[in-house]
Structure 1
Amino acid sequence: MNLTRHNLAFLTSLSVLLEERNVTRAAVKLHLTQSALSAQLSRLRDLFDDPLLIPSQSGKGMVLTARAEHLRLPLRQALQALEVVVGDVPTFDPAKSERTFVIACNDNAAAIITPRLLPLLHAASPVGIRVSIRAIEPIHLPALLERGEIDIALGSLSIVGGMSHELLLEEDCKMAQRIDHPRGIEPPTLDEYLNLEHVVVSGAVNSLYGFIDKILAKKGYARRVGISVPYYSIVPLLLQSSDLVCVLPSRFLSRYEHSLTALPLPLEVQNFRLYSVWHPRLDKDLAHTWLRRQLRLSALS
């Protein structure tokens, strides 16, 4: 039998009919008219190629055929099992969970979020929940999220695509240089900024072009990029041992206030924005909703 939605509804009616053995009483239980249920019984007889219920010789109620008798108990049990499946509402208790959440992000996002995230997770689940941080792969990210290999990604708006997302934090960017830089500690003019040698953080291969270069190009300017690196954590080491400068988010720079100087930029630059990104299939997943809440709290603290 092709168990379409329509036929499943008929099977529910059949189960009640087999228990009541009376169309009138069964119709009342099913909240159907007697004529509607009679029409369903006629359809069920066609489906099973069997009368299923026949009038009793006493004139009271109906009698089950052998096929109907064979169906009665298994059908009732199957429908009860189906009710359990449909009515099973998922729950999530972080204190009892042993789930490992996989978060993809670059080292800057990891440094911002994880020091605040881990205490929150530990407070909610001292031994159960764990976190695995992995490098973000923008090209493969949609497929990794869809397959569930990554629970959530942290990054700029460029990684969002058609995925569900949420803005976690927004902050300004500044030019960073070593504390004893020979140019001094005055904010640079645009001409001076263009003549300095710059570091670009880029995950792209052989890329010496960053978001600042796009802004400058629109204004007809260009700067000299001396080196491109894939990780934010490398930048302070480069700046501390050279006259290079780099544009970095303020919160990142706050971790190096004893070795780097942060200065205002001589041009308008969009604030640094960090998003959490996940597959829409997890929009209402309780565990994932809980994780997103912890990430929001981590970004605020």
Structure 2
Amino acid sequence: MMDFEWYRSFISIYRHASVSEAAKARIMTQPAMSQHLSALEAEVGELLFTRTSRKLVPTEKGKELYTQLAPLIESLEEKTIGFKAFSTPASPVIRIGTALEFFEEHLIQHLEGFQARVITTFGTASELLNLLKEDKVDIIITSKKYQTPGVEHKFLMDEHFVTVAHRNLDVPTFSTKHALESWLSDQCWLSYGLELPIIRRFWREHFKKRPTLSPTHVLPNLHTILNSIKNGHGMSLLPTFIVDKHRQDSSLQVLFEELSVSNEIYLAYKSKFESSPEMNDTIKKLERFCLPAQKE
């Protein structure tokens, strides 16, 4: 099955006479760009370029395909730009990618402050980064700072995680960290993922080792984990921006608060939009909306 992105990659390679330069222009990896070209050549049934020591030279089939495709691609891109220019003044759009819990706790109460139509996509850090690279979102809020060409990161805030358990869990007194670590390893843990995100960092930071436990349940939603703890299904590490709202809940207790662990949150966006007024305005709004959480 033909993929429209193969055509766009082919056009870029043709114009740059180089896979690496075309990859930079499209903010893709070189292997991905090469894969697009190989797939298109396999579909066409002929080579589209011959490779010299310095550049790629289009074959006759490549020239023919470019002549047919270039006007179509340019026309489609012009129509897209024209549609965006037409619709933007009446209904400006901000496309934000973030974790569901972060949006619910930090941004949902500030939707009117954006003075624009907010289109939100929820996902994990890696999923959101892929959406950003594919131009499906304008800016993402992420806990991962990937070294990705064409993507800028700006520190937004720190989030702090503490250990939370059901009120009925009997917690003994520990004379050593080794005893504490042994007891924690024997508990039922609820985790955001099988790879123990945050829990793994907590263990490395406070016990200087990797945890050997396996999660009792994997629940990829922090609010669901909190409710599961309330129902006595286990313990977990949760951010204080969620825990602080439930400290008076008689079914919960916060353990070893001095043994917290921090996580940095970043805004990530395409470098090419770094100087745009729209992007700067969005960044300022996100910083302002998250400021109360920073002060807590």
TM range (shorter): 0.5 to 0.7
Asked if 1:227 corresponds to 2:203, the answer is no
Alignment-derived partner of residue 95 in structure 2: 102
Q: CA deviation at 1:167?
A: 1.5
Asked if 1:239 corresponds to 2:226, the answer is no
Q: 1:278 aligns with which of 255, 265, 269?
A: 269
- Structure 2 portions without partners, runs of 5+: 1-88
- Structure 1 portions without partners, runs of 5+: 1-95
Larger radius of gyration: 1
Q: Does the 8 Å CA contact 2:140/2:267 hold for their aligned counterparts? A: yes
Which secondary structure state, in structure 2, belongs to the residue aligned with residue 149 of structure 1? coil
- Decide whether aligned partners of structure 1 residues 292 and 242 sit closer, same or farther in structure 2, where only a CA change above 3 A counts: same
Q: 1:295 aligns with which of 269, 282, 286?
A: 286
Alignment-derived partner of residue 164 in structure 2: 176
Q: Does the 8 Å CA contact 1:106/1:231 hold for their aligned counterparts? A: no
Alignment-derived partner of residue 166 in structure 1: 154
User: What is the alpha-carbon distance in structure 1 between the residues aligned to residue 172 and residue 119 of structure 2?
Assistant: 40
Write the deviation string for residues 33-88 of structure 1: whole angstroms up to 9, x where unpaired: xxxxxxxxxxxxxxxxxxxxxxxxxxxxxxxxxxxxxxxxxxxxxxxxxxxxxxxx
Q: Does the 8 Å CA contact 2:161/2:238 hold for their aligned counterparts? A: yes
Q: CA deviation at 1:262?
A: 2.1
Alignment-derived partner of residue 68 in structure 2: none
Q: CA deviation at 1:176?
A: 0.8
Write the deviation string for residues 115-157 of structure 1: whole angstroms up to 9, x where unpaired: 3532422xxx3xxx12122122544544532443201111202
Alignment-derived partner of residue 139 in structure 2: 152
What pairs with 1:127-138 in structure 2 (closer than 5 Å)?
A: 129-138=116-125
Q: CA deviation at 1:190?
A: 2.5
Which secondary structure state, in structure 1, belongs to the residue aligned with residue 238 of structure 2? strand
Asked if 1:195 corresponds to 2:190, the answer is no
Q: Does the 8 Å CA contact 1:104/1:134 hold for their aligned counterparts? A: yes
User: What is the alpha-carbon distance in structure 2 between the residues aligned to residue 222 and residue 298 of structure 1?
Assistant: 38
What pairs with 1:25-174 in structure 2 (closer than 5 Å)?
A: 98-121=91-114, 125=115, 129-159=116-146, 161-162=148-149, 163-174=151-162
Q: After the TM superposition, which segments of 4 or more aligned residues of structure 1 sit over 3 Å from their partners?
A: 137-143, 158-162, 184-188, 214-218
The TM-score normalised by the length of structure 2 is: 0.57
Q: Does the 8 Å CA contact 2:100/2:123 hold for their aligned counterparts? A: no
User: What is the alpha-carbon distance in structure 2 between the residues aligned to residue 140 and residue 182 of structure 1?
Assistant: 36
Identity of aligned residues (%): 13
The TM-score normalised by the length of structure 1 is: 0.56
Give the residue type in structure 1 aligned to 2:238.
Answer: L
User: What is the alpha-carbon distance in structure 2 between the residues aligned to residue 169 and residue 219 of structure 1?
Assistant: 27
Give the residue type in structure 1 aligned to 2:290.
Answer: A
Write the deviation string for residues 217-248 of structure 1: whole angstroms up to 9, x where unpaired: 75265234211111112111211112400011
Which secondary structure state, in structure 1, belongs to the residue aligned with residue 216 of structure 2? strand
Q: Does the 8 Å CA contact 1:189/1:266 hold for their aligned counterparts? A: no
